[in-house]
Amino acid sequence: MRIFIIGFNRTGTRSLDNFFSKNGLTTIHWDQGRIARKIKKNHDRDIPILKDYPDTLVFSDMEDYKRLNYAHVTYFKDLYHQYPDSKFILNTRDIENWINSRNNHLKGWYVKELCKLIGTDKDGLNIRWRNDYYSHHKEVSDFFKDKPNKLVIFDIETDNIQKIINFISEYNLDKKLYEHIGKT
C-alpha cells in the first residue's frame, strides 16, 4: 500500500513526510521537483508512473514549480488507478493562511519566481492559487466520493494526527512522532 499526500505545498507536507519517515516508512518529499518530472515523463511514455520508486511508500510535495508541473493535482487519478491499494491524504488548511504562507515562502522568493514564470503579479498569482485550491479540492472530493476508505481530508490547523493514524490503521503509527515543521 502506498500513501499519496495530495495537498499543495505549505499545507504540512514536510510535517507529514517527517511523521511517516520517523515511523519507519520509506518516504520521498519534493526532491527538487524530480518526483513530479519523473511522474510526468513516465505518464507520457505510458509506463507505470512510479517505476522509478519501487520501494517508496509515501509521496509528498509532488510539484516542479519551475515547469508548472503539479503532479499531485494532474495525476492523482492515475495514481489511484495504477496503485489501487493505496490511500490518499488531502492535506489542507485555511485558504488565506495557505496563500500567506506561500507568499512568505523562502522570504518571498517563491512568489517572485512564479510571477516571472507565469507573467503576472502577486495579486494575479494569488487569484490563480485560490482557483487552483478550490478546483483541486472539488475534483478530489468528487473523485473519491464513492471511495470513502481511500481518502482522508486532513486540516493541518484543526485536525489531530490521530485522524490519519485511524485512517491508515495498517501501520502502527506513533502519534508522538508528529510535529509541525516549517510552521508559519
Report CA dihedral (74, 4, 133, 102) to the nearest 10 degrees. -110
Quote the pLDDT of residue 184.
Answer: 67
CB 182 within 8 Å of CB 16: no
Cell (9 digits) for 45: 511514455
What CA–CA distance (Å, rounded) separates 10 from 52?
25
Which grid cell sits at 100?
500567506
In percent, the amount of the chain with pLDDT more than 70 equals 99
CATH topology of domain 3-174: Rossmann fold (3.40.50)
CB 36 within 8 A of CB 20: no
pLDDT reported for residue 59: 98
